Structure 1
Amino acid sequence: MQTELAPEFRGTPEGAEAEAILRKCVHCGFCTATCPTYQILGDELDGPRGRIYLIKQVLEGQAPTRATQLHLDRCLTCRNCESTCPSGVQYGHLVDIGRKVVDAKVPRPAGQSMLRWALKEGLTSPLFGPAMAVGQRVRGLLPEVLRAKVPARQDAGTWPRRSHARKMLLLAGCVQPAMSPNINSATARVLDAAGIETVVAPDARCCGAVKFHMNDQTGGLAQMRATIDAWWPKIEGGEVEAIVMNASGCGVTVREYGHHLKDDAAYAQKAARVSEMTRDLSELLPDLVPALAARVQAPQGVIAYHPPCTLQHGQKLRGDVERAMRALGFDIQVARNESHLCCGSAGTYSVLQPDLSHQLRDRKIGHLKQLQPTQIVSANIGCITHLQSGSGATPVRHWVELLDEALQPVDPA
């Protein structure tokens, strides 16, 4: 795609990156076939190719409008289009640039601005945990729309006390410890059973994704640097062999620290090292299966698995969960239809674009329930909470919780 940047973007790092991405696009339209919002709305401007044209026009000097902003807002950033694109267009990075430029030129209505501010500051605040605890206590009194965002209180269970030679860092996350604390402790117990100690750095909180993808890129980058600072002593000292992520949304962001901080002289090398060390929990499964097989007693019944977009499209990781869990005796299955499509969670999308989000959720739940599962599992806190809000009596959990529950105690004899 031939591009002529406007003077204000020439010679800037973002302009150069955007131009390189735009020039890879060949207008083929393959991306529209796998775009969730295009599937629902049928509007070219609500598909990747149309949004690429809008971003190109803005970068070439055309003034953006509220309509431009809306079409970019409707993008889930699921990156399904990247999995489909034969030319390797890095659409996710391009839409981050486009949204930043458009938001700088198009003021939002006051109510929308306040909601977005509340989400990016509230979800990443240390006060989120106490606020969620209050919400869980009065959950039964909340309106349905709020109750769907407040999961029932969950016991975190015990954290392993054993020490192992093998150690891995785990990002606790900003919302997961408050909404589903058992995911982190289940991860630690499963790794402990395989001879790996889980280490959490208290000062490593939000990965930066929420703020960055809501166009507070300065705030998002600051959180990325703070996370690196919290981890760096253990990385530099050789105390840990990897950084393990059990929320694929956080995982895809941390894996891209090297990209996001490549122009920061103080952090570029550290960020690249962090990205190199980051592993999704599913990537460890091939090594965990032999260590755990004798202790796993898998439950009966079909388990429906929803692979998050941030795992299959963002991190390009497919099939590890299914293969390993089947090897351990679980009857885990993926929906026969549209397993590649987003469930509609997409970070804060379910709050900002509820109609589209709920349509995608119900579509996904319909496909998963065709498997007649006893429960549904996924690999990202956002997907889990969102699917649970529409799954009725069918529980939705992280697959590691299922594996942890199936571990039998070690026979002292």
Structure 2
Amino acid sequence: MNVNTIINNLEAKHPGEKEYLQAVHEVLESIETIYNENPQYEAAKIIERLVEPDRILTFRVSWTDDEGQVHVNLGYRVHFNNAIGPYKGGLRLHPSVNLSILKFLGFEQTFKNALTTLPMGGAKGGSDFNPKGKSDAEIMRFCQAFMLELWRVIGPNTDVPAGDIGTGGREIGYLYGMYKKLQMENTGVLTGKGLNWGGSLIRPEATGFGATYFAKEMLAVNNDTFKGKTVTVSGFGNVAWGVALKVTELGGKVVTISGPDGYIYDEKGLDAEKIDYLLELRASNNDIVSPYADEFPEAKFIPGKKPWEVKCDIAMPSAIQNELNGEDAKKLIANGVQYAAEVSNMGCTPEAIEEFQKAGIPFAPGKAVNAGGVAVSGLEMSQNAMKLNWTTEEVDAKLHHIMSSIHEACIKYGTQSDGYINYVNGANIAGFIKVADAMLDQGII
């Protein structure tokens, strides 16, 4: 395999799809050596088959607002790879949604799901619809119109969508209600459902909890703990909330949250009252964080900037792709950061990752760190199939075990001869081997 040749061919076929090409390039660089050491992969053209999705569904979504005006959005579902199980991945509702972003997310999801060891393939979907500022009735009409197209290609043994940015419990409820009516069955095909109709305990916190468990393992390798550590976090939705809860429980201190308007610096750290306020704030406005400083005057609001200029021990980007760049990484390193754990999907640019690794800072990628969300989605699928519910303690214990296992896989495949753990290589190689070997077993299809 020649990485540059494959990337050049993909660029020619998919011009302008920068996020997708970035994700593919990172994985190919990590697996190049092991791929070339195993000629069976090349003989079956595993890479050429793996980098292209199995299929892409694109459709029109027409809906009416409360004034009776008709609106038209684009809907997507990208089935990337189902070698190890039904397609699994979220539905993102955000104006930035396009095919490049969904292909990158579906590609990443394939390896992330493989790392969990649960039988789930990779997929992603969504729409350029913006739920912000819409009434409940408008969101219901959009979700119902969206599901009128999607229901034909999903099912408990085919494709199990979940929530993502812009798609929370309310949206999942409306989507599931329409699916159930159309399919005339109650099989729990979407995850992230309400607790009173098939959802799993700790699902809203799962991504943040899982990320913190993974970071806890990173620290333990260095005989270190969260106790007394200062942590910077971006975003302020469910993921940041989950991180803040678990970091605080483990003795650390989260001092930042952020939104499109800037970031909050709270030197005292987020306590239980402040953490609860995060979700209230998110539900009541269009993602701006400045009201936090009005509610808690000891905190400072810094407009138009990112939190990576704040001195910290651990950086945990938790918002969106490419939110932390090379210059941000340099600032963090100059301020003495000791660890970086990418909670958002591809939250760091290649330049940022290079800076962390060059400085010897342990850096772990999103496909490993944020796998807790999809892991608990997989556990929700299991509970639905068995028609039962596990307790919070049971789900949390299983999540903790899964995240520890993912960390062990990263250690196994990512430890270099000099002792540095290249978590990027470890995660990519572990996920690739599982998917590639399954593809070999199943023939050329």
TM-score normalised to structure 1 length = 0.40
Q: TM-score of the superposition, structure 2-length normalised?
A: 0.38
